[in-house]
């Protein structure tokens, strides 16, 4: 049986912190490290998908 969704409503609430807490503050090096890890994971996923297509 097929179900058709004609409308999808997503609600979210964004609040801004007052700036007194420094728990979420990351150094520039940490941000760069996270970006590099994310890029590497994306590259690996792309390579995996390309290899899977070649196998078919």
pTM of the model: 0.49
pLDDT at res. 11: 87
In a domain, 18, yes or no: no
In a domain, 7, yes or no: no
In degrees and rounded to multiples of 5, residue 49 shows phi and psi of: -65, -40
In a domain, 52, yes or no: yes
Count of structural domains within the chain: 1
CA distance 26 to 21: 12
Q: Domain range for residue 41? A: 27-56
pLDDT at res. 41: 94
In a domain, 13, yes or no: no
The tens digit of pLDDT for each residue in 9-51 reads 888 888 887 765 555 556 888 888 999 999 999 999 999 999 9
CA distance 33 to 35: 5
In a domain, 38, yes or no: yes
In a domain, 16, yes or no: no
């Amino acid at each position: 049986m097929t179900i058709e969704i004609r409308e999808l409503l997503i609600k979210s609430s964004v609040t801004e912190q007052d700036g007194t807490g420094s728990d979420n503050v990351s150094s520039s090096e940490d941000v760069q490290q996270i970006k590099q890890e994310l890029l590497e994971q994306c590259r690996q996923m792309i390579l995996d998908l390309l290899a899977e297509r070649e196998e078919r």
